[in-house]
Amino acid sequence: MSEAGSEGARTAPRHERSGVAASSGIGIGPAYVIDRRRVHVPRTKIEREVADDEVRRFQEAMRATRQQIEVIKGRLPHGEHRAILKAQQMMLRDPDLIGRVEVLIREELRGAEWAVATAADEVHEMLDRADDDYFRERRSDIMFLAERVLQALLGDHTHEITPPAGSVVIAHDLSPADTAHLHRCQVAGIVTAAGGKTSHSAIMARSLQIPAVVGVDGILGEVMTGDLVVVDGVRGQVIARPEGEELGEHEEERDRYDAFEQRVQREHAFPAITEDGLRVMSRANLSLTEDIELGIRYGAEGIGLYRSEYMYMNRDALPREEEHYRTAKMVIRRYAPYPVIFRTFDLGSDKPSKLIPFSKPEANPAMGLRSLRLALRQREIFLDQLRGLLRAAVHGPLRIMLPLVSSLEELDAGLEAVAEARDQLESAGMAYANDVPVGVMIETPSAAICADLLAARVDFMSIGTNDLIQYTLAVDRDNDDVDYLYQPLHPAILRLIKGVAEAGARHKVPVSLCGEMAADPRFTWVLIGLGITELSMSPSAVPVIKHIIRGSTAAEMRAIAAQVLATTTAREANEIVLAAMRERFPEHLKHGGGRSAEEEG
């Protein structure tokens, strides 16, 4: 990788482009343009006698690359970004990939560089055939990693980008490791020509709180190193060489934004109580124990969703009872006296694990053998987890939550499994908690419609809007082509949420909401107005959502919910909600999780 361009052409005119607002905030500084050139790969044949040496050279390069990523990872604060780098390290241990390179060296007698490039191209081609965001992201991961391994083989150590602090980095694309390194360099912002909101570099930038706009077509041809650039990660705009008063206006906006951010962060530990006295619990969603401190740092009152399925991913052996016990014990001790809600493993469909054998390929995995259905089929694995959780509950307020329930029978089967795990512990004479609250996720239309029936059997309910929206509106939650139909304020969704909240209230069962809607400031009033009193969200969203709650009354939230319930389309509902929230909380909306507030406007 090398830097292109000299001091910016001062005479070039103002230039503005838009892209995807990937990480909010406003960054202003001189451009630092990076021109990523593919590494030149020597295609050399080797003699059979040196094949072992060549394999060793390859292994050493892999080790060095893993080490590089470890160093970068070690310098970062905890957060989602670390999980991405960890996944990349796992890819570097993939036995299929390593085996393929070794075959190319030993059998086809290719030099290590050529073998690595060939194996990476093969994986890339295979992923190319899969038309899916998840695989597209793996494809760029593999190319970035191959590039690093090749640089290690070639002894090229020039790949680390070193922009001056305060600059705005402009690149075609950035690997997660590059982005992590930029955080250390204290850059003011990032602009890339490639990528979308869910690309790994975008997630990294969000997690590291670097303002970023991605998918800005043609930006490399328009900006030179040294040009002054404004990155508006709120609106998804990039302005090169701003003119006249414009620069001052953007600087003011940046300062307002930063001051607001500081205020919200300062108050993160205050409880969320509305001006008229309604207490709303704000909890965090957590996937990895590595991120355990995040919820604490952002003032979360417990964990409303611990996605335990991540314990079954990127590893070679199943987690057993003892590991579940130890993990759960550690998390509940950290969050006590607040509760931690462990969702039993929600594997399958968008969260596959190679550790749990599927009987056959599925044509429609979102509706197939997944989540609780899979757990009930793999009963021993499920019981292992349940025993571990029941034992850990001796040490603090742990709750168990069953995912993707679609009928009372399914819920009963899940509850029976919990009872069986309890009996097993009793027979074995092990210590366990007998009073662990068990709840159900409301993620299917049938569960929402029959919430009153489910509520009679459980201690709490939690609405998973990510799936509830997908299943109710028949819109794949990960498919860009139908993204325009994914409407959280669709009348059907509003009615279902209201119905679940009412069923919970009738049965005196608390109702929480733990889908992405909970993290989006646009929806805070509507959700609480509909009767939700617990929200669980990505940790970094907690301070802003709490701030909104503290600045509102429950009465005005109920009023807006009533207005929205009377609409006939999501568009109308969006207009009402946006107008109200923009007027009262303009700064908070800019901090919104999920889609940029402007997108709906």
**Residue 200 annotated in active site:** yes
In this chain, which stretch among 170-178, 186-194, 319-327, 459-467 interacts with ligand PEP, using CB under 6 A? 459-467
Question: Which of 157, 185, 137, 182 is CA-nearest to residue 67?
Answer: 157
Q: Does 466 bind ligand PEP (CB under 6 A)?
A: yes
Centroid of chain to Cα 492: 26
Site string for ligand PEP, 283-312 (x = CB under 6 A): ----------------------x-x-----
Site string for ligand PEP, 168-197 (x = CB under 6 A): ------------------------------
Instruction: Look at the block and give the residue holding tokens 């469909």.
Output: 349
Residue 181 corresponds to which amino acid? H
Calpha distance 71→281 (Å, rounded): 38
Contact 327, 311 (CB under 8 A): yes
Of 464, 504, 521, 529, which lies in the binding site for Mg ion, with binding defined by CB under 5 A? 464
* Nearest residue (CB) to Mg ion, 46 versus 400: 400
* Nearest residue (CB) to ligand PEP, 249 versus 483: 483
Calpha distance 492→287 (Å, rounded): 29
Of 465, 512, 533, 596, which lies in the binding site for ligand PEP, with binding defined by CB under 6 A? 465
Q: Give residues 506-535 in contact with ligand PEP (rule: CB under 6 A).
A: 514-515
Of 80, 467, 516, 534, which lies in the binding site for Mg ion, with binding defined by CB under 5 A? 467
- By CB under 6 A, the count of residues binding ligand PEP is 10
Q: Give residues 416-455 in contact with Mg ion (rule: CB under 5 A).
A: 443
Site string for ligand PEP, 438-457 (x = CB under 6 A): -----x--------------
* Residue of closest CB approach to ligand PEP: 464
Calpha distance 206→215 (Å, rounded): 15
Contact 228, 240 (CB under 8 A): yes
Name beta bridge partners: 171.
Answer: 34, 192
CA atoms within 13 A on the CB side of 414: 28
In this chain, which stretch among 155-163, 315-323, 459-467, 489-497 interacts with Mg ion, using CB under 5 A? 459-467
In this chain, which stretch among 6-14, 148-156, 172-180, 461-469 interacts with ligand PEP, using CB under 6 A? 461-469
Token pair, residue 369, equals: 């053998």
Strand 228-232 to strand 26-35: parallel, antiparallel, or no bridges (unpaired)?
Answer: antiparallel
* Nearest residue (CB) to ligand PEP, 305 versus 503: 305
Cis peptide before 337 (omega within 30 of 0): yes
C-alpha angle 232-234-236 in degrees, rounded to nearest 5: 60
The angle that helices 112-129 and 95-106 make with each other, rounded to 10 degrees, is 130
Contact 414, 372 (CB under 8 A): yes
C-alpha angle 240-243-247 in degrees, rounded to nearest 5: 80
Contact 1, 37 (CB under 8 A): yes
Question: Which of 511, 538, 541, 539 is CA-nearest to residue 527?
Answer: 511
Which one of 159, 181, 183, 200 is the catalytic residue? 200
Which one of 159, 450, 514, 588 is the catalytic residue? 514
* Nearest residue (CB) to ligand PEP, 117 versus 527: 527
Q: Does 302 bind Mg ion (CB under 5 A)?
A: no
Q: Does 348 bind Mg ion (CB under 5 A)?
A: no
Token pair, residue 166, equals: 């305060």
Least distance (Å) between residue 513 CB and Mg ion: 12
* Nearest residue (CB) to ligand PEP, 384 versus 467: 467
In this chain, which stretch among 32-40, 462-470, 479-487, 498-506 interacts with ligand PEP, using CB under 6 A? 462-470
In this chain, which stretch among 60-68, 412-420, 463-471, 498-506 interacts with ligand PEP, using CB under 6 A? 463-471
Calpha distance 369→242 (Å, rounded): 55
Least distance (Å) between residue 404 CB and Mg ion: 6
The helix, strand and coil proportions of the chain, stated in percent and rounded to the nearest 5, come to 50, 15, 35
Contact residues toward ligand PEP (CB under 6 A) are 305, 307, 346, 443, 464-467, 514-515
Query: Would you tell me which residues interact with Mg ion (CB under 5 A)?
Result: 443, 464, 467
Which residues have a catalytic role annotated? 200, 514
